[in-house]
């Protein structure tokens, strides 16, 4: 595995853990007898967060491949 591959491991793991957290939250939410509107809102918010996480991960992978490992150097 090259140096770029090693730097992509942490962002992928973080995104996976956050998505797993939301999936477990949705599972637990369905165990309680909450109104359907609350469940629908939670599902929609979880899907939005997941889509945004994947978008940010794709941008981060692109930055790493372009050689911008330290994105804080821009500020």
| Residue 48 belongs to a domain | yes
| Residue 49 belongs to a domain | yes
pLDDT of residue 55: 94
| Residue 75 belongs to a domain | no
| Residue 57 belongs to a domain | yes
Residues 11, 73: contact at Cβ < 8 Å? Answer: no
Q: Quote the tokens at residue 67.
A: 């050689």
| Residue 55 belongs to a domain | yes
| Residue 73 belongs to a domain | no
What is the per-residue pLDDT across 5-62, written as a single tens digit (0 to 9) for each?
777 788 889 889 988 888 888 888 888 778 889 888 988 988 898 899 999 989 888 8
What is the per-residue pLDDT across 49-69, written as a single tens digit (0 to 9) for each?
889 999 998 988 888 888 766
Q: Quote the tokens at residue 56.
A: 């940010």
Q: Would you tell me the crossing angle of helices 36-66 and 3-31 to the nearest 10 degrees?
A: 180
| Residue 74 belongs to a domain | no
The total number of structural domains in the chain stands at 1
Residue 43 belongs to what domain range?
3-67
């Amino acid at each position: 595995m090259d140096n770029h591959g090693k730097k992509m491991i942490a962002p992928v793991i973080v995104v996976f853990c956050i998505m797993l957290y939301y999936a477990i939250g949705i599972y637990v939410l369905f165990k309680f007898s909450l109104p359907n509107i609350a469940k629908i809102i939670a599902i929609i918010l979880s899907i939005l967060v997941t889509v945004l996480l994947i978008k940010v991960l794709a941008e981060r992978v692109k930055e790493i491949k372009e050689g911008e490992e330290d994105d804080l150097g821009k500020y």
